Amino acid sequence: MREIGHFIGGKHVPGTSGRYADVYQPMTGEVIAHVALASTDELNAAVANAKAAQPAWAATNPQRRARVLMKFLELVQRDYDKLADLLAREHGKTVPDARGDIQRGLEVVEFAVGIPHLMKGDYSDGAGPGIDIYSMRQALGVVAGITPFNFPAMIPMWKFGPAIACGNAFILKPSERDPGVPMLLAELMLEAGLPPGILNVVNGDKESVDGILDHPDIQAIGFVGSTAIAQYIYARGAANGKRVQGFGGAKNHMIIMPDADMDQAVDALIGAGYGSAGERCMAISVAVPVGEDAAERLLEKLVPRVESLKIGPSTDGSADFGPLVTREAVERVKGYVDLGIKEGAKLLVDGRGFKMQGYENGFYMGGCLFDHVTADMRIYKEEIFGPVLSVVRAPDYHEALRLPTEHEYGNGVAIYTRDGDAARDFASKVNVGMVGINVPIPVPLAYHTFGGWKRSGFGDLNQHGPDGVRFYTKTKTVTSRWPSGIKDGADFVIPTMG
């Protein structure tokens, strides 16, 4: 059995807490590894290591730091197949989808290669007589990332890429469900020339997370996961004086206007609703056709597509989606389908009974489709995080705009229409952080920033792009006076440049 310990100070170290978790291969249901769960002492040792290594890394000029990232990008290309295979086996998503998970992470590392430019400060020459003002961005010190199971390559890279480029040392606490890929990424960073101690992977559960939240030497925490935990991390981290960004769950709507191209809308819904078995924070889980006629036309095309979804093991590259992450996840999602029926929604496609031939112990379920879901139902209000799409019929555009605007989550939303005026109005008014216009999963590219609103995101800076650099640095502003200095005597009035 593969034993996964921690990666601290540039070395694999075994766990010493005596606590382990099973890592499953969802496509077969087998346990394929044991991962160590760190104690607070182990976490503290990793932080001490990072703290000792960080000043020299921050003092390394940014071009040299960028070169390490460039080499890392090359090494990931070399090992792409191995990484994607392991990711698919531990997570459950298909290998082509696992490749996308890696790719969207690499794009943020590519962006972070521009760090010499991104960290440049501002300069005001002659702000007063003989006075110049300039600002600089400096690394925070030791920072941390706590990441979810559903993007085990992308989200760790979204965090450690910018943080390390900025000159910080990083503690990554990945999901205990699929820790294999984060460990390989840390090995590759070391091979790329990163000094030992700058990227540490501490595997664990609540104990190590609480250790991060309370550690006086950790300056900032980037979290991604479910909303309840995001809020907990935000509150406890902030109470300890840390900078915290906590990204949480979602309920992403797709509005289908009567003038939309229904073939395009259905293609978009099938991919965005069921890809990765719906285990994406930007998955579409609510379809909102506007008007009865649009609803009928949509469902006529959608139902046969959901019925014919191809589910397969993660290594079947032709499958539309693979298994869910754990047996408990399957039970939870099926529980929501049972609940939806009780709440009065109409189940048009029932995937609960799906069995994968030859993989009977795997964590599979088929795609489910509900019609006549209403805003008071729990299946509408709560995040299901599985291959279940709910159709909520809206009588008009205003109701379609109101639904995502008033939902407690505000991660992503999409509108399908040929009407530029409706699209523009929607994008401007909807109370959601990321909007797609004829784009179902509007995950911004690496040089923009990613972040949901309302209970999908706590804290005030987004992930990656310029915000990622802001989050992992602090601004120092210097006001300097050379010619006469303070020789003129003390001044007790607040300085102005008037």
Active centre residues (catalytic):
281
- By CB under 6 A, is residue 50 in contact with ligand NAD? no
Contact 185, 78 (CB under 8 A): no
- By CB under 6 A, is residue 281 in contact with ligand NAD? yes
CA distance 182 to 232: 24
DSSP secondary structure letters along 205-223: SHHHHHHHHH-TTEEEEEE
Choice from 113, 140, 224, 432 touching ligand NAD (CB under 6 A): 224
CB of 204 to ligand NAD, least distance (A): 7
Per-residue exposure over 342-359, b if at least 16 CB sit within 10 Å of its own CB, e if not: ebebebbbbbeeeebeeb
CA distance 45 to 38: 11
325 three-state secondary structure = coil
Residue linked to tokens 């997370």 = 209
- By CB under 6 A, is residue 35 in contact with ligand NAD? no
477 three-state secondary structure = strand
Choice from 64, 78, 82, 206 touching ligand NAD (CB under 6 A): 206
Q: Which stretch binds ligand NAD (CB under 6 A): 222-230, 389-397, 399-407, 480-488?
A: 222-230
- By CB under 6 A, is residue 226 in contact with ligand NAD? yes
DSSP secondary structure letters along 372-416: S--TTSHHHHS---SSEEEE--BSSHHHHHHHHHHSSEESEEEEE
- By CB under 6 A, is residue 180 in contact with ligand NAD? no
Residues that contact ligand NAD, how many (by CB under 6 A): 26
Residue linked to tokens 């979810």 = 148
Torsion angles phi and psi, residue 34, rounded to 5 = -115, 135
Choice from 68, 87, 209, 298 touching ligand NAD (CB under 6 A): 209
CA distance 315 to 273: 21
C-beta of 94 vs 417, nearer to ligand NAD:
94
- By CB under 6 A, is residue 150 in contact with ligand NAD? yes
Per-residue binder mask for ligand NAD (CB under 6 A), 364-393, x = binder: -------------------x-x--------
Choice from 106, 229, 265, 319 touching ligand NAD (CB under 6 A): 229
One-letter amino acid for residue 351 of the chain: G
Q: Which stretch binds ligand NAD (CB under 6 A): 103-111, 115-123, 202-210, 342-350?
A: 202-210
Choice from 250, 254, 299, 434 touching ligand NAD (CB under 6 A): 250
Task: Give me 286's structure tokens.
Answer: 């609510």
C-beta of 88 vs 260, nearer to ligand NAD:
88
Choice from 179, 452, 459, 465 touching ligand NAD (CB under 6 A): 452
| Footprint on this chain of ligand NAD (rule: CB under 6 A) | 146-151, 173, 175-176, 205-206, 209, 224-226, 229, 247-250, 281, 383, 385, 411, 452, 456
